[in-house]
């Protein structure tokens, strides 16, 4: 069975349509290339509480294996995705965020300014992805070898 994915790009500029979601497009393409099914794709605003509520509702629905957020992990005042994640996740997976940052550091030390995290709620993985189209491609390259096992472990499937 293919991995079921929800993909949420975070930022008022995406909701309003003033910015094109190129990073989300790249993530969507990477997931489809791996044979995964995108069951939800949506732009969400910068409001931390609304985002946390949406992530909880999606994770608790039991219909997705992985929730990816795109963007909103920097240090600008509007970047509140990690704070929303702190309200949502029950377990933390720091190794996934470390992999993403380590891979990106090869191209730019500016990745050290990102605050993305990864964790689990119930049986769903939640992973913050960068807002750069290139960084998303690189992140998926480094995460690809571990995500299926992570999904299986979150579901409690014996490995």
Query: What is 4-155's CATH number?
Result: 3.40.980.10
Q: Are the C-beta atoms of 6 and 68 separated by less than 8 Å?
A: yes
> What pLDDT score does 106 carry?
86
Query: What pTM value is reported for the model?
Result: 0.96
Domains of the chain by residue range? 4-155
More confident position, 159 or 80: 80
> What pLDDT score does 157 carry?
83
> Helix crossing, 133-155 with 94-105: angle to 10°?
160
pLDDT tens for residues 94-104?
999 999 999 99
Closest of 127, 125, 95, 131 to residue 113, by C-alpha: 131
Q: Enumerate the H helices of the chain as residue ranges.
A: 12-15, 22-33, 48-60, 81-88, 94-105, 133-155
pLDDT of residue 159 exceeding 90? no
């Amino acid at each position: 069975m293919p991995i079921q994915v929800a993909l949420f790009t975070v930022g008022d500029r995406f909701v309003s349509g003033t910015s094109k979601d190129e990073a989300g497009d790249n993530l969507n393409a990477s997931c489809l290339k791996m044979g995964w099914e995108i069951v939800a794709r949506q732009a969400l605003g910068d409001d931390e509480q609304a985002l946390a509520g949406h992530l909880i509702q999606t994770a608790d629905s039991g219909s997705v294996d992985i929730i990816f957020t795109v963007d909103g992990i920097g240090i600008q005042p509007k970047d509140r995705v990690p704070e929303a994640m702190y309200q949502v996740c029950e377990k933390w997976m720091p190794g996934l965020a470390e992999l993403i940052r380590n891979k990106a550091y090869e191209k730019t030390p500016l990745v050290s300014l990102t605050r993305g995290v990864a964790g689990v709620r119930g049986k769903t993985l939640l992973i913050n992805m960068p807002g750069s189209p290139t960084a998303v491609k690189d992140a998926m390259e480094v995460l690809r070898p571990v995500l299926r096992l992570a999904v299986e472990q979150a579901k409690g499937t014996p490995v």
